[in-house]
Chain A
């Protein structure tokens, strides 16, 4: 394919990505090394605010930004190098915690606390999603043709449901005396408060994620199972291979590219875990890297936001994902070399 033709085919897509992803990304990168802030002055202000029955007026020193002639806030931008990254990573505190050898002290530093949970969440759910996905796919494949359609339909429900709604329904089901908590209490014959300690919340978040993503894995594996070569299975049976051997030696290798595809998508998505933290109201116990970024970015009620630290933490999240993806990129590179 000639470069010009190639450009014509790929151009629109690249343009969209440049405009709405690459360009903002550049500004994120830039912001992580610079701090932009308003110039403040401190003045004495008399202000009156609404009381219950009558006004309360006070005169006090207030800090407020200086406005220029056009009425815009005067801002200054300063290059701060890696300072913002230091603020996010809090390496000095990490060093102290490491020398004292206290895990709890490390877990008191936001970034490392978030990193710990994010990595654990990713690595625990990954095998579960692949395993359950494969299991469900084989169960469906095993079912009679008559019920396959409805079963696939039901299986897909957790995947298609709007994530915000999914997290909310978990709230209705588990919070306080929610119906599933009540069921568990009856079953285990003890009082439960699932949102009262970190480990139960983490467990719930992981269960929810597996419930939500396993159907995606299942449907892809199911499609893969349709193309397994029946002849090789039959000859394996004739050779006396057990079910387990057939699974391990024929089916899994056949599905391997799909397993890698699912694993890759899942790695990227679960490393960005965020909806669960908000949906499960877990902020008091566990936080994730993307939640941290979001929290820096969200303006407080007086309109301040920590754009620089949000950018730095976003860049760090990206670096983390890139590291996780290296093995996969290597494989894609090999394929690319092979097909050329």
Chain B
């Protein structure tokens, strides 16, 4: 929009800016609000006066709160972290990952960034504020009631880190398998003009439209009794699939396949067929052409599709709640369980804290991958 002819009148620019600000407020409010709630005592969290929720008088009376100093420093750390993540991380990854392992580089980096942030925020920051508080006088006095005890309850007492690890296993498994299987299929479908390919896509589309609860209910008896019906094939070692993350991964990959192959197919359709045709003329097989010619250029589309797989696996409730037992549950059913059982109000605030915790990795993910998503979509991962 550099051309003079396209410059917009000031009124339009202001209106557009105002609407955008309003949208951002609407988009962020619920999440911001439950984040605030998660730091309050139950009395404050469910108070009907918004100011009481924000400033938390009952929480402050209970002896825990934040001073201006702590708030300023905390915001500074968050800001710097966000800025570093968005600005520096993509270039770092690009320059340090060995060729072909960019995806792995991203995973490692994302984990490192998360750990570094937690260390800086919960480890370094308190030490600094403890040192500074006596020096700044009134600025060091608590003004906002806030407590992190609910997070402590969630992560330490309730063993939420266990659920977190399970979520990571399931999500990582789903994303990796879903993408490897889906990339091959998407490429095959994009390059084959046959009617069969068309019908596969149509059937996949109908599969995409199925109500999941019906499919999933059918799995339970089969998975619980798998040791019996697998024993003729596998003998003594036949596993009980119920409660195994691997089984959940397989189911989620399957449920996710229709969307994955549709997205990747349209992405591959936009890579000129001449590219791999040329390689084929040079005597490569289809697989070799795929590996040498397509793989290097497919990452934008794969990352975008992978993000959708990630969201599906990470956010899934139906499959994980039914097929995993409590000892290897992922985070979403664990949180739903905190709500559904006979709860006290404190339990509810604890669940709010858990809900905020589960959103944090999604934050990080989107922050890191934001540009890749847009560029992947722009490069044609969706063309209908």
Listed in ascending order, the chain A residues whose CB lies under 8 Å from chain B are: 1, 3, 5-6, 8-10, 12-14, 16-17, 19-22, 24-25, 27-28, 135-136, 139-140, 142-143, 149, 151-158, 160-166, 168-170, 172-173, 177-179, 182-183, 211, 215, 219-220, 222-224, 226-227, 230, 233-234, 237-238, 257-258, 260-261, 264, 268, 271-272, 274, 289-290, 293-294, 297, 307, 310-311, 314, 317-318, 321-322, 325, 329, 332-333, 336, 339-340
User: B72 at interface (Cβ–Cβ under 8 A)?
Assistant: no
Residues of A within 8 Å of B286, CB to CB, are 1, 5, 9
Given B181, B188, B251, B362, which contacts A6 in the complex, CB threshold below 8 Å? B188
The contact of B215 among A20, A165, A182, by CB within 8 Å, is A20
28 A-B pairs with C-beta separation under 8 A: A6-B194, A10-B188, A10-B197, A12-B181, A13-B257, A14-B200, A16-B181, A17-B257, A20-B254, A22-B207, A24-B219, A136-B20, A139-B20, A140-B20, A142-B20, A153-B370, A155-B27, A165-B358, A169-B33, A223-B382, A224-B377, A264-B384, A274-B211, A274-B213, A293-B214, A297-B214, A311-B214, A339-B193
Q: How far is the CA of A22 from the CA of B20 in the complex (A)?
A: 44
A17/B207 contact (C-beta < 8 A), A10-B200, A261-B382, A332-B202 known? yes
CA gap between A237 and B384 in the complex, in Å: 29
Closest chain A residue to B374, Cβ basis: A223
Given A10-B184, A149-B86, are A238 and B5 also a contact pair (CB < 8 Å)? yes
Selected from A9, A140, A158, A268, the residue in CB contact (under 8 A) with B208 is A268
Which residues of chain A are near B366, meaning CB under 8 Å?
153, 156-157, 160
Asked if A222 meets B374 with Cβ closer than 8 Å, knowing A6-B192, A157-B31, A238-B5, the reply is yes
The CA of A149 and the CA of B3, in the complex, are separated in Å by: 23
Stretch of B120-128, B131-139, B145-153, B309-317 on the interface side: B309-317
B253 engages A16 (CB within 8 Å): yes
Contact partner, B339, options A3, A168, A220, A272, Cβ 8 Å: A168
Q: B383 — which chain A residues lie within 8 A by C-beta?
A: 257-258, 261
* Main SS at interface, chain A: helix
5 tightest Cβ-Cβ pairs between the two chains A and B: A9-B188, A223-B377, A20-B254, A257-B384, A13-B185
Q: Is the CB of B374 within 8 A of A290?
A: no
B158 interfacial by beta-carbon distance below 8 Å:
no
Q: How far is the CA of A177 from the CA of B52 in the complex (A)?
A: 14
Q: Is the pair B214, A314 in contact by a Cβ cutoff of 8 Å? A: yes
* B residues 206-241 touching A (CB-CB < 8 Å): 206-215, 217-219
B3 contact set on A, CB distance < 8 A? 230, 234, 237
B213 touches A17 (CB 8 A): no
A297 x B217 contact (CB < 8 A): yes
Measured in the bound complex, the distance between the Cα atoms of B349 and A172 in whole Å is: 10
Distance in angstroms between the alpha carbons of A13 and B187 in the assembled complex: 12
Tell me if B213 and A294 are in contact (CB < 8 A): yes
Give the docked Cα–Cα distance between A339 and B336 (Å).
47
Within 8 A of A (CB), among B294-313: 311
Q: Is B13 an interface residue (CB 8 A)?
A: yes
Q: Is the CB of A10 within 8 A of B189?
A: yes
B residues 78-131 with Cβ under 8 Å of A? 86
Minimum distance in angstroms from B166 CB to a CB of chain A: 15
Which of A5, A136, A153, A222 has the most chain B CB within a 10 Å cutoff? A153
Chain A: minimal CB distance from B300 (Å): 11
Find A219's partner among B31, B255, B285, B373 (CB 8 Å cutoff): B373
Q: Which of A3, A12, A289 has the most CB of B within 10 A?
A: A12
Residues of B within 8 A of A (CB): 3, 5-6, 8, 13, 16-17, 19-20, 23-24, 26-28, 30-31, 33-34, 37, 46, 48-50, 53, 86, 181-182, 184-185, 187-189, 191-198, 200-202, 204-215, 217-219, 250-251, 253-255, 257-258, 261, 285-287, 311, 314-315, 317, 332, 335-336, 339, 351-352, 355, 358-359, 362, 365-367, 370-371, 373-374, 377-378, 382-384
When the two chains form their complex, are residues A25 and B215 in contact, meaning their CB atoms are under 8 A apart?
Answer: yes
Q: Is the CB of A172 within 8 A of B188?
A: no
Contact (Cβ within 8 A) A13 B332: no
State how many angstroms separate the Cβ of B178 from the closest Cβ of chain A: 9
- In the assembled complex, the CB of B274 is this many whole angstroms from the nearest CB of chain A, namely 15
Could you tell me if B255 and A172 are in contact, using CB atoms closer than 8 angstroms? no
- Whole-angstrom distance between the Cβ of A18 and the nearest chain B Cβ: 9
Is B210's CB under 8 angstroms from A21's CB? yes
**New A-B contacts (16) at CB < 8 Å, excluding given A10-B197, A152-B374, A257-B384:** A9-B184, A13-B182, A13-B257, A16-B257, A17-B207, A25-B210, A139-B20, A153-B370, A157-B27, A161-B31, A162-B314, A164-B315, A173-B30, A173-B33, A314-B210, A325-B206
The answer to whether B53 touches A179, judged by C-beta atoms less than 8 angstroms apart, is: yes
Q: Are B254 and A162 in contact (CB under 8 A)?
A: no
Contact check, B19 vs A321: say whether CB atoms are below 8 A apart: no
Given contacts A21-B207, A297-B217, A329-B202, contact A165 B257 (CB under 8 A): no
Shortest Cβ distance from A208 into B: residue: B30
Please give the distance in Å from A49's CB to the nearest CB on chain B: 21
B363 to A: closest C-beta gap in Å: 8
Which residues of the partner chain B approach A143 to less than 8 Å between Cβ atoms?
16-17, 20
Cα A339 to Cα B28 in complex, Å, equals 43
